[in-house]
Amino acid sequence: MRVDDVEPQFSKDMLAAGERLFELPWVFIKGIVGLEHLPPADVPEIAFAGRSNVGKSSLINALVRQKGLARTSNTPGRTQELNIFAPNPGGSEVPIVVVDMPGYGFAKAPKEKVDAWTGLVKDYLRGRPTLKRVFLLIDSRHGIKPIDTEIMEMLDTAAVSYQVVLTKADKINPYQLSALSQATADALKKHPAAFPQVLATSSEKGEGLPELRATIAALAD
């Protein structure tokens, strides 16, 4: 089965809903190190996860069209936090919350930091009923690595829906990107909690961002 066979059609209405959501001014809410500091679980949430240097902050900033928003919480000492962002709809109810999970895969990370990250993430995944989907970011230049597979298995165990988003898609040629997208979709068939559609994005070129915005907006409904 080809990637095209599992990609839903993004209608004009879906794309427009995505644009409306991300035209709102987005703000950094707070960074948390324990579930007791999470906001009330009364608003749909989506989360971004990925290896360090996968381009997570760049993608969030590109989605909201605000340079530096994600870096607001990316200061030394805060790398093990769940960083929370939300749109400011001007007095209306917040439609959705974005949770930026700490990057994983630091080659030289102390064991205590790895354990802290793992514990926090596992607790969040198990105990957040409003979490609609985790977007697992994969660098297009490298594809799925063993550490990514470990995270996917953790998400499978937690029965949390997740979707792979390829980042830095402009860094490889279209043929390589197509092959990688297909190989990734094939790999996802082995994972029960994985959403079958693979999105390819470029923060620099804006490729795939309208579709990702539309996907997130649909989860806010």
User: Mind listing the pLDDT tens digit for each residue in 153-177?
Assistant: 999 998 999 999 999 999 999 999 9
- For the chain, the average pLDDT equals 87
CA 95 to chain centre: 17
Q: What's residue 61's pLDDT? A: 94
Are the C-beta atoms of 164 and 194 separated by less than 8 Å? yes
Rounded distance between C-alpha atoms, residue 66 and residue 46, angstroms:
19
Domain-wise residue ranges, the chain: 3-219
List own/partner pairs for 142-146 with CB under 8 A and 24 or more apart.
143/180, 143/183, 143/184, 144/184, 144/187, 145/51, 145/105
Domain 3-219 CATH superfamily: P-loop containing nucleotide triphosphate hydrolases (3.40.50.300)
Q: What do you get for the CA distance between the two ends of the chain, in Å?
A: 29
User: Mind listing the pLDDT tens digit for each residue in 80-131?
Assistant: 688 999 998 776 788 999 999 888 876 556 777 777 777 888 888 887 899 9
Residue 25 is classified by DSSP as P
Q: What's residue 77's pLDDT? A: 39
Rounded distance between C-alpha atoms, residue 39 and residue 98, angstroms:
12
Are the C-beta atoms of 143 and 54 separated by less than 8 Å? no
User: Mind listing the pLDDT tens digit for each residue in 174-214?
Assistant: 999 999 999 999 999 999 999 999 999 999 999 999 999 99
Which residue has better confidence, 4 or 82? 82
